[in-house]
Amino acid sequence: MSQTVQVPKTVTDDPRWAQVRNRDRRADGRYVYSVSTTGVYCRPSCGARLPRPEHVRFFDTTGAAQAAGFRACKRCKPDQPPLIEQHGVLIERLCRLIEGADAIPPLKDLAQAAGLSPFHLHRIFQAITGVTPAAYARAHRAQRLRAVLSGAGSVTEAIVDAGFASSSRFYEAANQTLGMTAQEWRASGRRTRMRFAIGQCSLGSVLVAASERGVCAILIGDDPQALLDDLQNRFREAQLVGADAEFERWVAQVLGLIESPLQGVELPLDLRGTLFQQRVWRALTKVPAGSTVSYSELAARVGMPQAVRAVASACARNHLAVVVPCHRVVRSDGGLAGYRWGVERKRELLVREGARVARSEVQSPASDIQAPLWSLPAAPGTGAKSQSAAKATDVTGAD
C-alpha cells in the first residue's frame, strides 16, 4: 500500500517558512529559498528584510535555485559555506598563527590578518574556542613551556624557548599556569608540600588534600586505599605532610558541606586544569544547592552551547567533589547520568540538598548531625603518623 505525502498548500503551511521567519541558523545548509521580486535566493538565516510569502519558493539545493534562474544573495552568500564554517576555518588559521608566533600577537594584528575589526574578531574567536585570543596564546605558551622544561638546560632557556618576552612575565603567571614554580615542576613536584586526611563520612570514605595554594582534591569512595592511590597518581612525588590547625578547619568545612549543603564554605581552591575546564568548574560553583542544570544549559552558561560533550568531559575530570558541585549536572530529561564517585552518591547529594532547601523555608537546617570521625595525619615532628600517611611519603605534584 503506497503512502501519501502531504504537500503544503501554501508557503505559510510549510514548516520551513517558520524557520525563515525566525532566521533559524540551524536550517542553513538544508535548503534555500528564492524571492521572485528580487531574483535572488537566500539562506534561511538571511538578515535581509523578510519577503512576502507569496513571493517565496523553496529549493533543496543551491544548484536547483540557480537552474531556476535565481542568483545568490550578496548579503548571506548562500553559494558559500555557512558562516559558522567560514568562521571556524578562519579561527583555525589564526590559532596556527598564534602558535607559530614568538610572542603573543596583538589583537589588532590578528584582526588585520583576518580582515575583521578587533571587536568582531574577539567576539567570534571567543564564541568558537571558548577563550579570548590572548588566553589561547597564554595557554599554548604554557603547553610549550611544559614541553621545553622537560629538556631545556635551565629554566631561563625554557622561558626563552617558550616565547616569554621576559622572565618577570613568566614568573608572574607560572604559579597559576603550572600549579607550582618552574623549578618545582621540573623536579616533578618533589618539593611540593601537601596536607591530606582520610576518614569516614555519611557518603563513605573521603580524602581531602591541600597544596600551599588551597584545597586541590576532595575524593569520595568506598576504599580509602583506592582514594590514596588516586591522589598518588595525580601528585606522584609531592611530599605528604600531616594536618595543622588551619587544615583541620578546612576539613571541617568540607565535612559540614557534605552533611549540610546550605551552610556554604569559604575555602581557598587550587584548581588545576585547562582553561576550558576551569571555566566549567567556576560555572558549577554558581549553581546553588537544591538546583540542577543540564549539560547543554551549562555549555550555554560558559558561552559554548555546542560544546556539550566537552562540558561533560570537564565535569568528569573534576577532582573537588561537592565543593565544585558537578553532582548538580543532570541530563536534559532530568536523568542523573554518570558521576565520578557513583550515581547513588549523586542521588543522595541531590536528595539531601533538595530536602534541606525544602526545610529551610520553614525552619533552620538540622544541627544535630553526628560528625564523622576523621583520621588526620599527625603533624611533622610529633612522632606519630596515621596509616595513610605512613603509606605515602612521596607522592607527585601537578597533573
27-80: what fold? DNA Methylphosphotriester Repair Domain (3.40.10)
Catalytic residue among 73, 216, 315, 326: 326
* Closest of 277, 293, 286 to residue 328, by C-alpha: 293
Q: Which long-range contacts (CB under 8 A, 24 or more apart) does 163-172 make?
A: 163/101, 163/102, 163/103, 163/104, 165/103, 170/145
Q: Tell me: domain 189-260+369-399, CATH 3.20.20.70, correct?
A: no
CA-CA distance, 78 to 35, in Å (whole number)?
Answer: 13
CATH of 83-186, one of 3.40.710.10, 3.30.450.20, 1.10.10.60, 1.10.1200.10: 1.10.10.60
What angle is formed at CA 236 by the lines to CA 167 and CA 275, rounded to 5 degrees?
Answer: 50
Our answer to whether residue 201 is catalytic in this structure is: no
Encoded amino acid at 110, one letter: L
CB 104 within 8 A of CB 141: yes
Q: Which three cell numbers stand for residue 238?
A: 609531592
CA-CA distance, 355 to 349, in Å (whole number)?
Answer: 10
- What are the start-end ranges of the H helices in the chain? 15-21, 62-67, 83-100, 107-114, 118-129, 133-149, 155-161, 167-178, 182-186, 224-234, 245-259, 275-284, 295-301, 308-316, 343-360, 387-391
Domain 83-186 matches domain 275-347 at the CATH topology level? yes
**Where exactly are the structural domains of the chain?**
27-80, 83-186, 189-260+369-399, 275-347
Catalytic residue among 42, 46, 76, 216: 42
Ordered per-residue pLDDT tens for the chain, 399 residues: 444 444 456 888 899 999 999 998 888 888 999 999 999 999 999 999 999 999 999 999 999 999 999 999 999 899 888 777 778 888 889 988 988 887 788 999 999 999 999 999 998 888 777 788 988 887 787 777 666 665 555 666 666 666 666 666 666 555 555 556 666 655 555 557 888 888 778 888 889 998 888 888 999 988 888 888 888 777 766 777 766 778 888 888 888 888 877 777 788 888 887 778 888 998 998 888 888 999 989 988 887 777 888 888 889 989 999 999 999 998 888 888 888 888 888 888 888 887 343 333 333 333 333 333 333 333 333 333 333 333 332 222 333
Sign of torsion over alpha carbons 111, 116, 122, 125 = negative
One DSSP character per residue, 131-172 reads S-HHHHHHHHHHHHHHHHHTT-SSHHHHHHHTT-S-HHHHHH
CATH of 275-347, one of 3.30.450.40, 1.10.10.10, 2.130.10.10, 3.90.79.10: 1.10.10.10
Per DSSP, what are the bridge partners of residue 35?
40, 56
Our answer to whether residue 326 is catalytic in this structure is: yes
* Closest of 297, 295, 299 to residue 336, by C-alpha: 295
CA-CA distance, 247 to 253, in Å (whole number)?
Answer: 10
